[in-house]
Chains A and B, each alone.
Chain A
Amino acid sequence: MAELSWVATAPLSHVLKPGHHGAETGGSGVAYTGLSDFALVQVMARRGKASALAKAAKAHFGVAAPLKPKAVAAGGSLLIWSGPDQFLALSPRDGLASPLASLAGPLAGAASLSDQSDARALIRIAGPRARDVLAKFCSLDLDASVFPVGTAAATSVDHTAVTLWRGEDTAGGAATFNLLVFTSFAESLWHMMLDAGAAYGIEVGEASYGV
């Protein structure tokens, strides 16, 4: 029998080439960072259990889970609204431990949990031209007056469902947006993003989430 071995690779590993891309003059208008080593759990209230989940989540995370399209910091986790009575819990990955292990007990009976850690790619878009890039492929109004830090959205980009939220501004005061996309769509989205940002100059990098 042939030897079979599995090699774990990040979903963007074939296309993400760190360094400068696009326009050579004027520096980098945007930075794209592929983030890995995160744990991601989809939490959905069971039928009729929305208030039980709200209570259990508050007890476990110490803050209320978002009931509106927002991303809320909860200790080491970020709780991102993903639809009515559901949210995503994003945190740095803890080695080989199942991301479900710490949530299964506290949320038992109130919610169904699904491990999405290896099902999504996480891309951070930051820099002075971040909004200009996003305006090319995202139909939402991302102006600071209507999309402040901590705002989230479930939307479609390039015919692909994404979860988008605005993170803290960079040290230089530039806006930061985060994008979760299904892994099988990540490469095609990435190519489109490189085209969209080329005119501004792109600094491509990769990092571990939360480090």
Chain B
Amino acid sequence: MNLQDHIKLYNEAVFDSDRDRALKVVHDAVAQGVSPEDVVFEMVLPTMNLMIKAVSEDFNANLAQHFLTARIADAVTAEMIPKFKKLPEMVGRVVIGTAWGDLHTLGKRIVIGCLKARMIDVIDLGVNVPAERFVDEAVAREAPVIGISALMIHTATGENGCRKVRQILQERKLEDSIKIIVGGAPFRFHPQIFKTVGADTWAADAVTAGKVIEDLLQEARR
């Protein structure tokens, strides 16, 4: 089997949300001489990008699919990176957490899985994160992007969530160097509210979030 065959099998397993099959494809590929670098950069990442394309073309992707795609990508990347010939260059760093008052972890967790597979360094601030902490951590860790997840309308639009993060960035004159991206159910029901809460951008799902954040980080490097 050549690399193209492995890619095809991996692709099918991921689109079927079959973690065990995907992992088996990866292990078979490595056993047959595919390099860990090729597994990540030729199999995992392109498959995620295909998923983004499919989602944007109204392929009926569901939560389970995003969840399992992220889990698979996260697991494969974690296993392959230590086997790389030299450590991969990271695209950049992000701090991410759920908004103040919000205890829901899943959205953030899935986004993190997708980011790691893109060689993005993620700092997970956990749940119920005060606005000050988002900014303090972003500054301390030199992360040009803050990600905020919120599952309910009052945590997405409330005064202690993204709005306050924006206010602090403004007060500390950090708006040019730190960008805010938001996500979570309310933003999907109302695709305009990311603007009213003062975010720079948003993403409707985790695989797309990976790409949007990667773009933000590329911009920050310029």
A binds B: no
